[in-house]
Structures are given as structure tokens and as C-alpha cells.
Amino acid sequence: MYFCSMESRFKFIYGLTICAIVAYSIVQGYWLYSRYQLSLEEYKSELYCTIIACAEEEMAIRNTLPHPPRFYGNRLRKTSEIKGDNVVETWRYEVFALDTLQYVPKGTDAHTYLLDYIASLHDSIPAELPKGLEYFAFTCDSKGHEDMGTSQLVEALNRFTVDHQHPFQKELLDSILRSRDIAAQSVTTTKADTMIWQPSMQTKGSIWQPVMQVSYPYDIFEGQEVVVTTAICISPVIRKMAYTLLITILLSFFLIFCLVYQILTIRKQRHIETIRQEFLHTMIHELKRPISTLKMCVSFMGNERMMQDVESKQKILSSSYNELDNLTSYFSKLRDITLSDATEIPLVKSDFSLRELMEECIGKQNIPSDKEVRMEIVAKDDLEILADRMHLANIVCNLLENAIKYSREAVTIRMDYRMREDGMVQICVADNGIGIAKADQRYVFDKFYRSESAKDKAIPGIGLGLSYVKLLVEAHGGSISLDSTEGEGTTFTILIPQTDGKDKDITR
């Protein structure tokens, strides 16, 4: 019940964490998108102001160019026109330009002459104007006149006079834009049907590839405006929000890392709990056999008549020793596996005969009475090896024990060793036993792992042997691998380096 409850809690925490990551990612994404739009609008405003400043600079340059002496005058007239049942009022702006090089009466100031001539006019304009005088007229409705102030009228007159003397130059504006690092896609001029008083801006394209169109009226009276079309680069926008973006990404990664690390920690704790449960069940099961055997032996020893049988007594004592050895083996493996979770296994290296060690390991094996076991050393020559003798003996003994345990009624175990050219000692333990299934081979070195076939055949063990062997081999800085075919046998290959921590060659 407790385990099922913990399982439900684990699943709930997984789901809650994943939902938190997804929700946080969505909120952060939306916030970054909103921040990007805000930065984009700010950049568009800056770019718009820069283009307007370039257009005004172009007009200022034209105004400084040399031009013939001209004087300008203007007047404002209100006119009424009947359209159906309504009276439509319009305002008429009239501009007079006098070229003094063509005609000015002698003894008369040109500016005074122009003002006097405008004052002498009535509502109608003569069909023929004096030589050197030009006349321009512009109209707007009452609404447009009300919206226009005195300063706007003065600005409109200034733009008209500048454009009248020196017409607008697209090439000049384009060069000014380029000097401000603005690569315009196009610079065009248009003429509107009405007066355009203010510049305007339009944005086209997508949010990731925006295009800006800025319209600037360089001649308000004539309705003449220049339209600058330019693509908005995203890189300045990204640079503008670089610090915000960097901090947000770092914090997001840190938070997601913490959540993922939390999940991984919970998974690890769950795995440890599962192993603990499996180990307890397996250990209880495995300890029943030697304890039952020992109880039987103790009962036998309590029978004086049966103790007088020397042969039976020797068998009971032998069985007791074997079961005590099994118990010692279980606890020794458990101790070393537990040690590996906390620190490295200390090694006491020395030079010793590898053949002599293998012969000792062969002599230590308990051969079951119902099996025919043949063990032989294939290598002819002896080899002196540098390693921890006790641990290497445990490695070989465990491999021999497994070869005997996972075999049929008759088994042949062949042991071989040699010194390789790369300074590694190679040890092979091969048998013709039942072999290991392909699906199980990748897990055989895991702690507490036992194949289904071993469980089905009721072969005793708790799945610590090969894990223990791998632990000791890796403590030597070596490696272990296997080659097995189900039904034919298994070969374990161990490589142990013959160098110390300073990579000096210390082979003998």
C-alpha cells in the first residue's frame, strides 16, 4: 500500500513538474514576444524620427543652394459657393513670386512693390500679370483651415518657396539616409489631391520581417510628398533587448534545470527504493536456504548416535562449511557493493604469479555432486601481473562460480591469459554452459539484476556477482566484456592495465 501510494505521488510530481515547465515556457514566451513588440515599436519610432530628420536636412540643404533673387508674398481669401441647397465655404491661399532679375520698376523696392501690387488686387486676378511675377493658388475647406495654425501656414510657405526655387532631389535624400545607415528600398514622390500637413508612417510585412513606409510632405500646398520604404532590421531590436533576453534565458534555463534535476533526483530515489525492495525480497529468499541447511546440521549434531557415523559427520560438517561460506560470500558482496556507493575501493597492488592465483581459485571451488566440472588453464607460460591479489582472486572465483552455477550436468571451463602489446593483461574465462540471452547481456553487470531464465530454473543468487566483478575490475582501471551465445556458452574477457597513476610501465 505504501509503495503504491509513493508511486502515485511520483506520478503526480512528474505531471505537476511537466505542467509547471510548460506553463512557465508559455508565459515566458508570451512575455518575450510582448517585449519584442515593444522594442520593435520603440525602434520604429526612432527610425521614423531619423527618416523625418533626413528629409528636413535635405530641404535645409536645398534652401542653402544659390538661387536667383525672388520675393514672395501671399494672401488668404474666403470664398463661398452654392451647391444645391447648401453654401460651401472654401479658403484660398494665394502665393505671388517676383523674380527681380526679370522686372522691377526703377526706383522701387522689390518687396514693397510686391506688397503694394497684392494690396491693389481685388477678388479677381488679372489675366496677364506683370513681367517676372508668378501666381499660385491653393484651396482647402473650412475644416482644413480650422486645423491649420499660423505656424503651420508659415511652414507650408517655407516648404513651397524652397521647392519652387530648387525642386526635390531623391538622390540627395537617399545619400543622406545612407549616411545614417538607413538602406532605403525605394524613395518615391507622389502627389495627393488635398493638402498634406503632417508626415505619416505605415508598417507592412510580418512581425519578423517588417517594412516601414514614411511619407513626408515636402510641398504642403501642392500636396507633394516623398515616400521612403525601408526594411526594419531585427538585429538592432534584438540588441536593444539583449540584456533582458540574456537574463531571461539564463533564469529560464536555471529554473528548468532545477525542475528537471528534481525529476531526476526523484527518479533516482524511486529506483533506489525499488532496488531496496527487490533486494530485501531476494535476500530473504536466498538466506532461507543456508539457514535451513545449518539448522538441519545443528539438529544432526545434537543426535549422538548419528554423530558416531564418521562419513555422515564429515558430510554434515562439509555442508555447514559450504553454507557458512555462502553466507560470508553474500555479506562480502553486499559490503563491497555498498562501499562502491560511497567511495572508491582501496587497492593494495603487488607483483604475483597469475597462473598460481588461477590454480588457487580452481582449488577453492565447491563442485556440486550432481555435476561433472572440468577446469583447465590454457596458457602454457606463467605471467607476473601487478594488481590487488585478493580482489583479482575474488574476480576469478566469481567467474568460475558463475560458470559452474549456470551450466548443465557437464561443463568445461577454460582459462587463458596473455600480455597485449598495449600494456594490458588480458584474462579470459570461457565455458560451454547455458549461455546468456541477447536481451539480458546488456544488463548482466547491473546490481541485483537476474535474468528470467535464471529465476525460472530456480538457480540461487541475488544478482550481485557480476556487478561485484565489474566493480573490482574498474577499480583497477580496467574493463570487462562478454561474448555469449544462448545454449552454447559464455566468454568473459578482462583487461587490466599494467601502469601506475603516472603511466609508467611496470610490467614484469
Please write the tens of the pLDDT for every residue from 261-275.
877 887 777 776 665
User: Which pLDDT score is estimated for 130?
Assistant: 82
Q: Minimum mean pLDDT among 105-114, 220-229, 301-310, 483-492: which range?
A: 301-310
Q: Minimum mean pLDDT among 122-131, 420-429, 489-498: which range?
A: 122-131
Domain ranges of the chain: 66-164, 345-508
Give the SS3 label for residue 133.
strand
Give the SS3 label for residue 101.
coil
User: Which pLDDT score is estimated for 261?
Assistant: 83
pLDDT band at 203 (very low <50, low <70, confident <90, very high): confident
In this structure, CATH architecture of domain 345-508: 2-Layer Sandwich (3.30)
Q: How far apart are CA 293 and CA 320, in angstroms?
A: 7
Q: How far apart are CA 198 and CA 173, in angstroms?
A: 18
**Count of CB atoms within 10 A of residue 132's CB?**
15
- Span 461-490, average pLDDT: 83
Residue 381, burial from CB neighbour count under 10 angstroms (0-12, 13-18, 19+): exposed
Q: To the nearest whole number, what is the mean pLDDT of the chain?
A: 78
Q: How far apart are CA 61 and CA 84, in angstroms?
A: 49
User: Which pLDDT score is estimated for 367?
Assistant: 79
Residue 440, burial from CB neighbour count under 10 angstroms (0-12, 13-18, 19+): middle
pLDDT at 447 over 80: no
Please write the tens of the pLDDT for every residue from 47-80.
899 999 998 898 888 888 887 788 888 887 777 7
451 vs 129, higher pLDDT: 129
Q: Minimum mean pLDDT among 112-116, 123-127, 246-250, 301-305: which range?
A: 301-305
Q: Minimum mean pLDDT among 94-98, 286-290, 467-471: which range?
A: 286-290
User: Which pLDDT score is estimated for 196?
Assistant: 79
User: Which pLDDT score is estimated for 236?
Assistant: 74
Listed residue (228, 303, 248, 277) closest to 57, CA to CA? 228
Residue 290 dihedral angles phi and psi, to the nearest 5°: -65, -35
Q: How far apart are CA 470 and CA 173, in angstroms?
A: 78
- How much is the pTM? 0.47
pLDDT at 276 over 90: no
pLDDT at 503 over 80: no
Residue 476, burial from CB neighbour count under 10 angstroms (0-12, 13-18, 19+): buried
User: H helices of 138-223, where?
Assistant: 142-147, 150-165, 170-179
Backbone torsion region of residue 461, taken as left when φ is above 0, otherwise alpha when ψ lies between -120 and 50, otherwise beta:
left
% of the chain at pLDDT higher than 90? 10
